[in-house]
Structure 1
Amino acid sequence: MSHGKQFTLYTHKGGPNGWKVAFVLEELGLTYHSIYLDFAKGEQKGPEHVKLNPNGRTPTIVDHKNGDFAVWESCAIIVYLVGTYDKQNKISVSDPKERITQLQWLFFQASGQGPYFGQAYWFKAYHPEKVPSAIERYQKETIRVLGVLESVLSKQEWLVGGKFTVADVSFVPWDISAFDALLVDYPGFSLEKDFPAVKAWHEKVISRPAVAAVLAIKASIN
């Protein structure tokens, strides 16, 4: 077993997706050792990691108590973790219909939030030339996704089951990017004014001890 911990988490210091897996591991009290792959050196595409994750991206987990079972894609990892290790439904739901709703939000995070927020960040910070139309498109999509969340959270405290779940925490890393970088110069953007329910929900999630502990680790290494 690697480093005496149950899990090895292959991740990245800055990339959002590994952090949401760390949130879930921490919430469930599961022990893990993080290996931060250096993208500049292409370590995520190296043979050791690609053997575990043929997509060559992060995150990937290895569960040493389950035959060194490897899982990749962050939301698939989350589904595996709660399905295997959250039998008391501490941060998940048990009702069959609510399980589908929880899965629906994880799919939306993976297909709706992550790609659009990621493209917004790419064109704003990393693309070699400024493409205003692309920046505008993905900033607008970021606003749209926040609007979807606001439309639900203005009517209920949590996304599913009337309680905090993995559905809620999965949105946190990209939301932080949106609030701190993606939308800071967006004309007229006001989180407090336009998305008050999202703001209140986000603050409740990041104030949870397990989430706050992981965010402190993130801050200390970046």
Structure 2
Amino acid sequence: MATNPPEPIRVWLTPPGPNSWKVIFLLEELGLNYVIKSFSFENVKKKPFTDINPNGRVPAIEDPNTDLTLWESGAIYQYLIKTYDTKRQLSHDAHKERHLESQWLHFQMSGQGPYYGQCGWFQHLHAEKIQSAIGRYANEIKRVISVLEGVLAAKDADKQWLVGDKMTYADMAFVPWNFRLAEVLNQSWDEVWDGAPRVRAWHEGMVGLPSWKRSMEIRARLMDEQGLQWNGVPKGVETFDQYEKDIAARAAAGEKK
């Protein structure tokens, strides 16, 4: 168990997207004291949230124990590990391993998150289908997975982690976006992992953890409170195709104003 803050860390989030659950997953796995400030995505660029994060993106945290407000999920990860993972439950103390953990976290933020997010946008949310954009980002997803597959393949069977011989925050950071891959790529779960058996086993081992399951139970409750289905589509909208048509209609209506 990590060193627990006496006052709960406040986590500001909108429930649908993956990045907020990256932070909740870490908080749950460390067993830290926290509370969630959940709000609608339509208010992410408005006060009071922009007083917390002027960039208007979730997640953000406020830690009253250190008088720190922080945004960007990677920065939050590094802060929580440095401040509260004093027993090195999810990190290493050695110089080499500490920098390798940081390397993988930066790869997740620069390589995985942006490409997966852009693929999801052009696959499902952009007002018109641009196949070249969908293809570009889908190919980048496969490239990121191939990088991970190659690294895990080079490790001993009992050390299938990115750094050292245990799960660290570097591994955990990849879970929320990989969890959404079937939706992002519009493929079956088996198709998603074609040619990447080690990455699939690595990922499925982590989503089997009680901390991840608790995180997803919290997400389901918050999504329900906002009238959203698991994929972020409002209740009553049965398919992504229907949702895309609704987005396109609203975009067209906006252009006419």
What TM-score do the two structures reach when normalised by structure 1?
Answer: 0.91
Q: Matches of 1:149 and 1:217 in 2, distance apart?
A: 29
Deviation at 1:46, TM superposition (A): 2.0
Q: Name 2:109's counterpart in structure 1.
A: 110
Give the aligned residue type for 1:148: V
Q: Alpha-carbon deviation of 1:198?
A: 0.5
**1:65 alignment counterpart:** 65
C-alpha distance in 1 between matches for 2:56 and 2:172 = 24
Q: Which residue of 1 aligns with 2:253?
A: none
Deviation at 1:162, TM superposition (A): 1.4
Write out per-residue CA displacement over residues 65-85 of structure 1, whole angstroms, 9 at most, x where no aligned residue: 112x11100010000000000
| Equivalent of residue 172 in structure 2, options 157, 169, 176 | 169
Amino acid at match of 1:201: W
Q: Work out whether residues 123 and 134 of structure 1, in 8 Å CA contact, stay in contact via their aligned partners in 2.
A: yes
Give the match's secondary structure for 1:162: coil
Cα distance in 2 for partners of 1:128, 1:190 equals 25
State the Cα deviation string for residues 8-48 of structure 1 (Å, max 9, x = none). Answer: 101111111010100111111111111222122xx222232
Contact 2:9–2:62 (CA<8 Å) still a contact in 1? yes
Instruction: Look up the equivalent residue of 1:102 and give its one-letter code.
Output: E
Compute the displacement of 1:93 (Å).
1.2
Q: Which has the larger radius of gyration?
A: 2
Separation in 1, partners of 2:101, 2:79: 13
Match status 1:15 vs 2:17: yes
Q: Residue 207 of structure 1 aligns to which amino acid in structure 2?
A: G
Give the one of 27, 30, 37 matched to 1:28: 30
Offset of residue 163 of structure 1? 0.6
Q: Is the contact made by 1:5 and 1:33 (CA closer than 8 Å) also made in structure 2?
A: no
Partners of 2:138 and 2:185 within 8 A in 1: yes
Report the number of matched residues: 213
How far the C-alpha of 1:159 sits from its partner, in A, is 0.5
Backbone CA RMSD of aligned residues: 1.7
Question: How do 1:124-143 and structure 2 match up within 5 A?
Answer: 124-143=123-142
The structural deviation recorded for 1:51 is: 1.8
2-structure distance, mates of 1:24, 1:182: 23
Identity %: 43
Structure 1 stretches lacking a partner, 5+ long:
none
Say whether residues 1:205 and 2:206 are aligned partners. Answer: yes
* CA offsets 1:161-212 (integer angstroms, 9 cap, x no match): 211011111001110111x2123449x9451x41100010001111122122
Tell me the amino acid that sits aligned with residue 174 of structure 1.
W
Contact kept, 8 Å, 2:38 with 2:222, in 1: the verdict is no
TM-score (norm. length: structure 2): 0.79
Structure 2 counterparts to residues 141-160 of structure 1, below 5 A: 141-156=140-155, 157-160=160-163
- Say if 1:118 and 1:159 are closer, same or farther in 2 by CA, change over 3 A: same
User: Residue 38 of structure 1 corresponds to which residue in structure 2?
Assistant: 40
Determine the C-alpha separation between the residues in 2 that align with 1:207 and 1:177.
15
Q: Secondary structure of 2:44's match?
A: helix
- Equivalence for 2:228: none
Q: Distance in 1 between matches of 2:41 and 2:215?
A: 21
